[in-house]
Amino acid sequence: MRKLILLLLAYILFSCSINKNEKMNKTQFNFYTEYNQFYIEDKGSNGDTGSAEFWSEEAIINRLALDDGIIGVGTQSYGNIKGEITILDKPTTDINFDLYDHIVEGGINIKSGELQILNCPDNNLELSIKVECGKYRVRVYGLNFSSVKETDLAHDSDNDFYKIEIWKSEDMQRKVLKQWEDN
């Protein structure tokens, strides 16, 4: 009996440690945006999305703009945006790069305890998620870019998708993990 209890305890401990990156919260989104971008921001952010520094040449190429409390995500399509956002305990390390067209990450400081997704140019609130205050790393995976026939017009056939993962981190710098090359 004692051996059975020890085996059962070992099994429970082992199975709990297998899932090293427990997903805390996963939320789908689908909304209309313009100018090939949307925003992830700290509620009440003072970031200036209209400044020349926000959408710099580097930010446009990397599809990620950074400012105080706000991130601009560059999209392939102009119009309907589909995706999901997941809050993680720590970053995903086993990325299958073949599944994605573009992967980029950057940092955001959440002071309000509320992370928001906003469209462009209206800044309409599309999604709001309560999070602990602190610095976060945001990774954006873009896929199905080739489904977009015209990047400056909305089409029902556009099927690009944005998978966003966030986790606590002090790293605020932009980093491209996989670069999309327009043909």
3-state secondary structure the chain: CHHHHHHHHHHHHHHHHHCCCCEEEEEEEEEEECCCEEEEEECCCCCCCCCCCCCCHHHHHHCEEEECCEEEEECCCCEEEEEEEEEECCCCCCCCHHHCCEEEEEEEEECCCEEEEECCCCCCEEEEEECCCEEEEEEEEEECHHHCCCCCCCCCCCCCEEEEEEEECCCCCCEEEECCCCC
pLDDT, tens digit (0-9, with 9 covering 90-100), for 25-76:
899 999 999 999 999 999 999 889 998 899 999 999 999 999 999 999 999 9
Amino acid at 9: L
pLDDT tens for each residue of the chain, 183 residues long: 555 444 444 444 444 333 445 556 899 999 999 999 999 999 999 889 998 899 999 999 999 999 999 999 999 999 999 999 999 999 999 999 999 999 999 999 999 999 999 999 999 999 999 999 999 999 999 999 999 988 888 888 899 999 999 999 999 999 999 999 875
This prediction has a pTM of 0.86
